[in-house]
Amino acid sequence: MNSGSPFLLYARSRGLPGAVAALAGTAVVTAWAAWWLVSRPGFDHTARLPVVVLGPLLAAAAVGTSLHSPSDALDRTAVRPWWRRRLLHVLVGTALAGVLLALAVPGHAERFGAPAAVRNALGLAGTAAGAGVVVGARLSWLPPTCYVGAVYLAAPDRPGGAAAWWAWVMQPGPEAAAWAVAGAAFVLGTALCAWRGPRRTGS
């Protein structure tokens, strides 16, 4: 066997090819939706807000659910520690999501363009990874979805202020407070997932 076979086995056991396909599909749909919204009469680039929120949410769901292991008992009794693989898994998945979504919504960096999409992908992927430790990888999409749904309804129309901290997914791209929260969510969620791994949820 070649030295890369353990990583190929890991990728296949987690269904990573399917997750990559889901990320690519999400980017294509996001790009189309962003173009369609801006092309509507009377709309401008600010109409892309739903796209830079929902696109990263779908990408985060793909990253989070791909952490599910079909052989959890074997993983926990393995001789080699799994935290490196889990860490690399989340980092590579999030990086791929960020790159694809940045390409999907180019321009208008000052509002709802690539920076907002990348920030939201970063924060929501970390949230999904951390949620997997609590509710399991298969349901890791649920906490970030509940958060985004609540914030989408409750966030004020005017960006900035206190909302930049609790409604960071709704903020324009350059908002520093929103980046701080998203970065913290990614670091904490990724570290927790790498350390503990997703919760066992039965067969």
Q: Encode pLDDT of 166-176 as tens digits.
A: 999 999 989 99
Average pLDDT, the chain: 87
21, pLDDT greater than 70 = yes
Tokens of 39: 């092309």
With 60 as the cut, is the pLDDT of residue 65 above it?
yes
Give the lowest-confidence range in 7-16, 23-32, 34-43, 90-99.
7-16
Residue reference for tokens 């980017």:
27
Q: At what angle do helices 16-39 and 5-13 cross, to 10 degrees?
A: 60
pLDDT for 1:
42
Give Cα separations from 87 to 76, 172, 174, 186 (angstroms). 16, 29, 27, 11
Question: What's the confidence (pLDDT) of residue 18?
Answer: 84
- For residue 84, pLDDT over 80 is answered with yes
Q: What angle do CA 141, 123, 9 make, to 5 degrees?
A: 60
The pair phi, psi for residue 135, each rounded to 5°, is -115, -5
Contact 173, 119 (CB under 8 A): yes
